[in-house]
Amino acid sequence: MLFAYTYIDRRDHLQLYIEMNVSAKHNLHTSPSISSLCAKNSIKTMVMERKQEEMQFLGVVGIYQEAYKIIFSCRKIFSQITLALILPLQFILLAQIEVTNVLFGKIINNEVELLGIEAGTKRYNQLSDHISSEFAYLCLFKVAYLILSAVFSLLSTAAVVYAIASIYAGREVSFKKVMSAVPKVWKRLMVTFLSIFVALLAYGAVAIVVSSLVFMACFIFIGFSNLKVLYSFGIVLLVLYLMGFLYLTIIWQLASTVSVLEEVCGFKAMTKSRALIKGKMWTALIIFFNLTITSAVVNMAFQNLAVHGVSMNMAGRVFLGVICSALFLGLFLFGFVTQTVIYFVCKSNHHENIEKSALADHLEAYHGEYAPLKSKDPQLEQYDV
């Protein structure tokens, strides 16, 4: 408020002083002052900084609690993301289960019938053609399922990670803003996905070669006389393969978050996630196993009760199907949020503080509003504990 005057005597000066104080008191009650806003922001910053330093001490339960708080503090945005992206992903998964059961059941029935028919007859040839066509349909359906599930999984990851990063950076987050950033984020995630896919193919090829060499050596030096030794080697190789596969899966999940929040993607994101996961591998594995086992239990309940619940009436099956679907949606969302929280925990565990202004600039770059320097990591700031 500007006051223009050339001369003011003491009386006018006193009256002006009283009017300015009354106006200030009125503004104090009607709208927050700049000083109060700054104080709130500074308090929020101090809380966030302290929280970042404390996140390194979070275990499995602490990560679950943090994910729960994030979801329920921003219920609206996560509900919109769930309905727009995670719900189609769940529908694809459930449709895949049902269609696979139908096609596989037809193939099994035709093969059983084929065993009782003489080879070379017209019926035998017809059944053989049916089995071949149904198997081709099953393979094509599986390929389409893998592509669609990968696309919607990456889109969901991009939306959830971007939303949580915006919350941590103190930026205003809306569904429209998240969805406008998803296409650019999705491109980086696709590069990382293709990189991990190549890594898994290479890992599988190496596993096949090593297993073949081990079994050849066993046949040469032991022969077929001691099958228990061969079974033991097979079990050991299978366990080692599954351990490596789980390790790559954990690296992939963390690399997806790294691809969104840092200036790396692809194999560089995998290298970065491999360095970050050190010290928190067991925590990530326990969380992965818990979510996997819970999803398997819900899936079994859905198939046995909702799909194949012959002893139940239609209303009961529909009711249980809705409950299982809701549980699936919650598990999917909780898994995506937990994956992002693990990233922040790993950063804190390695004493890499997250610069909120740089993180905000990095997120704005997805909207074309700001282009951060590629030579500078937009996130990291070392701190001492």
pLDDT over 80 (residue 134): yes
The predicted structure's pLDDT at residue 312:
72
Point out the least confidently predicted range of 98-107, 141-150, 292-301, 347-356.
Answer: 347-356
Token pair of 162 as six digits: 């971007």
| Cβ–Cβ under 8 Å, residues 100 and 140 | no
Q: How far is residue 292's CA from residue 311's CA, in Å, rounded to a whole number?
A: 28
Please report, as a single letter, which amino acid is at residue 1.
M
| Cβ–Cβ under 8 Å, residues 155 and 186 | yes
The predicted structure's pLDDT at residue 109:
86
pLDDT digits (tens, 9 = 90+) for 37-93: 333 333 333 334 446 677 788 889 999 999 999 999 888 999 999 999 999 998 898
Helix (H/G/I), strand (E/B), else coil: 258:
helix
Q: How far is residue 189's CA from residue 361's CA, in Å, rounded to a whole number?
A: 19
Q: How far is residue 255's CA from residue 342's CA, in Å, rounded to a whole number?
A: 11
The predicted structure's pLDDT at residue 276:
92
pTM: 0.75
pLDDT over 60 (residue 277): yes
The predicted structure's pLDDT at residue 51:
66
Instruction: Give the number of residues written for the chain.
Output: 385
pLDDT band at residue 368 using 50, 70 and 90 as cut-offs: low
pLDDT digits (tens, 9 = 90+) for 256-265: 999 988 888 8
pLDDT over 70 (residue 161): yes
Token pair of 13 as six digits: 């000066």
Q: How far is residue 195's CA from residue 256's CA, in Å, rounded to a whole number?
A: 11
Indicate the helix (H) or strand (E) that contains 100: helix 87-115
What would the mean pLDDT of 357-381 be, rounded to a whole number?
58
Token pair of 8 as six digits: 């003011």
C-alpha pair distances (Å), 97 with each of 78, 94, 330: 26, 5, 19
Q: Give bridge partners of residue 380 from the DSSP assignment.
A: 354
Query: What φ, ψ does residue 265 adopt, rounded to 5°?
Result: -155, 175
The predicted structure's pLDDT at residue 52:
67
9: left (phi over 0), alpha (psi -120 to 50) or beta: beta
Q: How far is residue 358's CA from residue 365's CA, in Å, rounded to a whole number?
A: 11
Residue 216: other Cβ atoms inside 10 A: 10
Q: How far is residue 257's CA from residue 277's CA, in Å, rounded to a whole number?
A: 12
pLDDT over 60 (residue 378): no
The rounded mean pLDDT for the chain is 78
Burial class (CB in 10 A: 0-12, 13-18, 19+), 172: exposed
The predicted structure's pLDDT at residue 47:
36
Token pair 């990530």 is found at 284
| Cβ–Cβ under 8 Å, residues 221 and 276 | no
For the chain, give every domain's residue range. 174-276
Question: Of 310 and 77, which is predicted with more confidence?
Answer: 77
The predicted structure's pLDDT at residue 40:
38
Token pair of 315 as six digits: 């209303």
Q: How far is residue 336's CA from residue 154's CA, in Å, rounded to a whole number?
A: 10
Token pair of 363 as six digits: 């997120």
pLDDT over 50 (residue 380): no
Point out the least confidently predicted range of 46-55, 145-154, 319-328.
Answer: 46-55
Token pair 């509003």 is found at 369
| Cβ–Cβ under 8 Å, residues 167 and 74 | yes
Point out the least confidently predicted range of 21-30, 128-137, 168-177, 344-353.
Answer: 21-30
The DSSP secondary-structure symbol of 308 reads S
Token pair 């008191």 is found at 25
| Cβ–Cβ under 8 Å, residues 165 and 359 | yes
pLDDT over 90 (residue 168): no
The two most distant CA atoms of the chain are separated, in Å, by 121
What would the mean pLDDT of 223-228 be, rounded to a whole number?
69
The predicted structure's pLDDT at residue 48:
42
What percentage of the chain exceeds 90 in pLDDT?
33
pLDDT band at residue 223 using 50, 70 and 90 as cut-offs: low
Q: Could you tell me where the beta strands, DSSP code E, fall in the chain?
A: 352-354, 380-382
